[in-house]
Structure 1
Amino acid sequence: MSGQYPCNSDPGLDPRYVGRPQSPNVNELRGIQRGYSSPTGGRHDVQQPTGPPPIPEAYYRNFGHIPATIQGHVGMTFNPDGNQCQVTGPLPLLRSPNRGAESPLPSGYDYHFEPTLDPKYECPICLMCLRDPVQTECGHRFCSDCIKRCLRNAGLRCPVDNVSLTEAQMFPDVCVRREILDLQARCPYQDCPDLLELRDIESHKESCSYRTEPCPNQCGASMRRRSIDRHVEKECPRRLIECQYCRGPLCFNQKERHHAECPKRPISCEYCHKEVLSDHLHIHHQHDCTEIPVPCQFASFGCSERLPKERMAIHVSQSMEAHLQLMAIHFQNQQTQLPRTTSYPGTSWRMGATYDSQMSEFATAAGGKITDVHEHGARKLDPEQLVRTQIGPSNYVTSPSVMPSFGSGAFDPMDQFRALRITVKELQEKEVWMRQKVIELESKAARKDSEIATLRNEVHSLQEETKDLREHVANGIFVWRLRKYSELRVSAERGEAMVRHSEGFYTGSCGYRLCVRVNINKSETRKVLYISLFVHFMQGKYDSSLEWPFRGSITLSLVDQNIDPELKQKNITERLVAKSNLDAFKKPKTARNHKGFGYMEFASIESLEKEGLFIKDNTILIKVEVHPQSN
């Protein structure tokens, strides 16, 4: 096969191509490859072809013309005449739609050149612009990587004229490389409009805003670099946000779970329906909530009532007889565990004695404090009296821990009675201490409120003094920074009357006091927006020593805010002279004279927005110069 076709001994060569020239025509190969990879200099927006190539892959491989981006094997079958072939394997795309920006193998420069690339700068192997060009002794130029790979895979022969060739017979073509780097090419990233020299494209690709990059938060999304900031701030599911309750940072996709567990989230108490913080709910139930059900303090004796805290005192008062009966039953059950006879100072507790006799002896042992147990049990206690023995809802007795323990050991009524008296005394002392503490805190809070009020008065006084000093410093020349200009313009377009007044200023240390009024209005005849400027005299400290009506001149100016030293500022200025017969220049009888003097159509809004730089950062500068007439 190599004798019939002397290019090389590649086993993939088909003998039916012996009639073709040994050195392929570059224009022919460029036409063959059109559709698989667009011609050098063209945009790579051609999709994968559907038909078979006119020349099989073996023909490319023998001449080293298989582009570096082709992956996998392409099978071919021929008809009996040998003049047609069919593709039996997949035909991969030769380049990505990004115009070769991310080519997996090194090859030539595959960019859109302007003007179109000269054929002399094309590599005969990859049919792209030469990258690191080398020249052979036979006078052909190739990409350095392309020719080296061709010599390794197809043999030591020139792929153009088939002469013997080794790497030692090639040298870098520095002159052509410099010419190529001077060529102009488009950025390879889609939609990027930049046209750069070839030497700058690689560095441009690293910073190109159209380059696709993954999200820095590793959310799995990819977007253009120019959109990363917006994605990270507003769209990324893993972006950091601030919890509206605890003000702590959290990921956006964990917002719902965090809010369900946030200790600072306000929730409603299931009993009193008041809003409390999540981590304070337990404390609220224990100390503050008056609707939470609590067991009766006589639950250890058999009372099964569970009522809200505020109703438990009423229950204890109204059910005292029933509680005493429960206690008596409890005591009777206990005496089965006591010895047959048990003596106590002043009385004896005998098994089999009647309930009345035992309770009478208990009353006698108590020092005559209770003369009639039945009468005492029938008497109802005042609920307020019970509440006074408590230290607020937080210390309400909800368990028998405060009551003496009757459930274990020998029963001693005197010890239990003394324990009750000691407990009541301790609670009363604690109540007194808490009341004193509350009085101290209230007194301290009152002092702090007084100090705060004093500081507020001082701040207000300083603000007034500062304003007065600022008005005197003007000395007849006042510059007003009119902010939020767009609001005035929008209100004028809607037909709404929106007027703004400046702060007052003095014409001197003991001069007149004035202010400026501005508004935007629409001309009824020409339907054009104009800015109106007026001056109003105000009541001042020195009006009684001044001559009225005011005599002199006033200059109004809209300041051009251009700071370029090469461009001259073009202020819009008008000068008006005071007229003594007008009310606007007479001594004001109110804080601000309702009569003003100025111009309804000082300047058109169109001229302000087109000429110069009168509007900057949504702000207009208005300058007023007052020149009183000297006597």
Structure 2
Amino acid sequence: MSSHLHNKSENSVAQESSITDNFSGPESRFECPICLAWLRDPVLTSCGHRFCRSCMESWLERENACCPIDNTKLHKDVDIFPDNFTRREISQQKTKCPNIVRGCLEELSPLDVETHLAVCKYKPPELPENEKLRCSYVHVGCEDKFEDEPELQRHLEQHTQKHLNLLLQAYTKFAINTQNAASSSAIAQQANFWDPPSKNEPPVTASDNINGLLKALYEKVVLLEQKTREQDIIIANMSEQISSFNLTMSKMHLRYCNGCYLWYFNDFKCKINAMRNDSHIMHYSPGFYTSTNGYRLCIRLNLSPKDPNYIAILIHVMKTEHDHTLDWPFSGRLTVTLVHPLQSFRNIKETMMTRPELEAFKRPVQDMNPKGFGYTEFALIEELFTNGYVDNNQLLIKVHAQPV
């Protein structure tokens, strides 16, 4: 293994990692149980729990003056005390600037990160208006624009009510237009279509010609509208069939890959920055099979719980409809490879044998085993960028699972 890789820990606890692990976040004693972030202006309750001051004050107003942990009755003027000792401890903690992937080497208190990011000279440049990301609800009237994917995601999470109102307004306009269209259709059904005059009839006047022409044009418009509607229905049905076919082909690829799966991890830079800002974020690949009716596995990527400058790569066993036909616990060889896009000799490849005594390889009782198996410090993020593993903002991970 190259110098920037860490071997598997001999301790099985380090190899197995729960989905709910607090990766690279604050220790539990420094974490606010309400916002799940670093304690800001920490306070201590009379029942012995720590919270951010603003979180606790808002909670007491909303939740009838009870502790959110043990439901003890609290009074905000009597049972809440400043926790200066914890404040000092947090101020002594040091963390890297999230812009380390761009070259910033600043180490600062977790509570100073937001202030530093506003003036960090390595922060991403502001994009011109025509290159910014648009809100997913732009078609119903949301005009907000964003610098990157995490900023867009925060907007979507924080402005749900606004987007619901826009959708309601769009639906109301659509309902009114539909009602008007129905009225026009009823009028068309009542109209008498114009027939050309018989040869034996006397010549018609100019006024009659105009009225007849208008009737003929109206008839053609109605027929064209009906034909357009039929074509729209045909196109919608074909689009649905194509989507269903693509989904089926994707599932077949996962089932018939024979345990060798390539995971194209896109938008790598933005996802790394998002994980630095929120240590709970983890990314999972689709589930792939070791054979047509074999074991089902998936790949997990997140920041290392020991050092957020490294990525962790772990394998999870997933549930299938035929688990009762398989031998448990899963036993075999797992090979993880970080593929270099240009120079194959630079591929980072590690092989590990399963350990049947671990929870990670027992038969799943839910969709995915909560325990994973792999490397908690697989590769240094900075070296992935400098050595060219990230190509077009994409990292390629190959996993080969061979049951034995």
| TM-score normalised by the chain length of structure 1 | 0.29
Please identify which structure carries the higher helix content: 2
| TM-score normalised by the chain length of structure 2 | 0.43
